[in-house]
Amino acid sequence: MGQSGWSQILGIATLLYLLCSGFAASFSTDHPLLQQHKDRVGRLPGQTFNISFAHYSGYITVNEKSERTLFYWFIEALEDPLSKPLVLWLNGGPGCSSIAFGQSEEIGPFHIKSDANTLFLNPYSWNRVANILFLDTPVGVGFSYSNNESDLLNNGDKRTAEDNLVFLLKWFKRFPQYKGSDFFISGESYAGHYVPQLSQVIVKYNSDTKENAINLKGFMVGNALTDDFHDQLGMFEFMWSSGLISDQTYKLLNLLCDFQSVEHPSDSCEKIWEIAYNEIGNIDPYSLYTPPCNANVSQLSQLVRRKHRIGRLRGDYDPCTEYHSIEYFNRPEVQTILHVDPDHKPATWETCSELVNTNWKDSPRSVLNIYHELIHMGLRIWVFSGNTDTVIPVTSTRYSINALKLPTVSPWRAWYDDGVVGGWTQEYAGLTFVAVRGAGHEVPLHKPKLALTLFKAFLAGTSMPNLELVSAS
């Protein structure tokens, strides 16, 4: 019998054990453990390979009044999941799906081939070392929904963090076997807001409760929107120093967009951004040295509106993976196996919601204050950056980190993977920074092996490998 079969037997045995250990009196047909069993996902359409792990997908309502309901996909670790940490992955936008990007082209095991019908197993999936929980947040993103349409027009950072906390508390009730697991949060791009904000509300919740505390150990973000001033300063500098824009445009960007909100810039700032993207030309700004996807002729105009959204790209090397996801997740048989509610499914599933993005209500210009607060709480905090991303480039991240004015614990150095430089790193008091060589905005997409090495070091709380350690192994 394969490990998948044993996992199913273990799940049933656990359910029976809990029922016989005092749960029977309160048991009902809507008991969370029964719902967990119902959320178990069978063989996916286009899955031509066997797997040794269980995975689940479904909904959790975070607001009963308006029925704000978030969609999740939980993928257990490859081996011995109950001994492994639990990691929540969030994509950004705001308005982009963690199912579309994080699971389907970055850190998840199920990636989609160019025929948009067939899946292949990602050999560098992060579920090799952890249990991964993907969440489409907020409502209006992916398969997440609300019965109150005005909810989709009133999303923002504050409510997203609050809803995500409610989601986690209810999810742990549905999956009580993971309640005591070491819990980490990770994400990229606009999740540079989501991740520290959620960490902050969890810390506050934990301080107010003793019985249902979440075992939060730390967080890690990549190419993350962090501080509008420093992020934009770094963007303009990276584009100019890389030879992408003219001297005049560089000066005007600094003049007209200085101290502007990234999510709600002025008209004059928007106009100079359009000039900048015209000068940059038909490249993928999320990955400077890889070919763009030419499947959509309106791509260039979209890039201006979506310059802080998650990118595309993959493997060896298909720049159009986003379009494969769109086709795959709009298939009725795919939605059925993932337990998508036919009464609440979107008319057309989208990787990113323009409605959510353009109606975003609150977006603080900096989350550096949250970093200061959480560093003092002793959380493990890592920040990584692909160094070929022009959207939130390595210069932006370094400016933001420098603004924290943290003492250096271990100076700047190269780190190695199989004896080759994988990037560079510096360790500060309370924060570790890692640059990933040759990666774009979606580090695990462009450099999946390096990303897994990074993830393993983060979970272990160890320094990035150096040449001597690799040579000795």
**What's the pLDDT score for residue 22?**
45
Q: How far is CA 142 from CA 305, 367, 458, in A?
A: 19, 26, 28
What are the tens digits of pLDDT across the range 229-267?
A: 999 999 999 999 999 999 999 999 999 998 778 878 899
Backbone angles phi, psi at 352, to 5 degrees: -140, 140
Beta-strand ranges (E) seen in 15-155 are 55-63, 68-75, 86-90, 110-112, 119-121, 131-136
Residue type, 371: Y
Count of positions (residues) in the chain: 473
Rg (alpha carbons) of the chain, rounded to whole number: 22
**What's the pLDDT score for residue 27?**
47
d(CA 290, CA 318): 10
Backbone angles phi, psi at 24, to 5 degrees: -60, -35
- 39, 389, 396, 446: the catalytic one is 389
- Look up residue 405 and give its two tokens: 């004015």
- Look up residue 185 and give its two tokens: 């949060």
Would you kindly state where each structural domain of the chain is located, as residue ranges? Answer: 1-27, 39-227+314-473
Q: Are 374 and 364 in contact (CB under 8 A)?
A: no
- In this prediction the pTM is 0.89
- Is omega for the bond preceding 94 within 30 degrees of 0, making it cis? yes
State the alpha helices, DSSP H only, in 19-131.
32-38
- 146, 189, 325, 385: the catalytic one is 189
* DSSP code of residue 417: E
Q: Which residues of the chain have pLDDT under 70?
A: 1-30, 295-317, 468-473
Is 230 marked active-site? no
Name the fold adopted by 39-227+314-473.
Rossmann fold (3.40.50)
* DSSP code of residue 265: -
* DSSP code of residue 226: -
- Look up residue 293 and give its two tokens: 């996807």
Is 441 marked active-site? yes
**What's the pLDDT score for residue 9?**
52
Half-sphere exposure of 50 (CA within 13 A, CB side): 6
**What's the pLDDT score for residue 26?**
46
Within 8 A by CB and 6+ apart from 271, the residues are 256
442 SS3 class:
coil
**What's the pLDDT score for residue 31?**
77
Instruction: Work out the number of other CB atoms within 10 angstroms of the CB of residue 473.
Output: 8
What are the tens digits of pLDDT across the range 95-143?
A: 999 999 999 999 999 999 999 999 999 999 999 999 999 999 999 999 9
- Look up residue 310 and give its two tokens: 């998650």
d(CA 303, CA 453): 31
**What's the pLDDT score for residue 342?**
94
Is 389 marked active-site? yes
Q: Are 383 and 220 in contact (CB under 8 A)?
A: yes
**What's the pLDDT score for residue 264?**
80
DSSP string, 322-368: HHHHHHHHTSHHHHHHTT--TTT--SS--SB-HHHHHT-----SB-H
Strands 408-417 and 420-428, by their bridges, are antiparallel
Beta-bridge mates of residue 75: 55, 132
What are the tens digits of pLDDT across the range 54-101?
A: 999 999 999 999 999 999 999 999 999 999 999 999 999 999 999 999
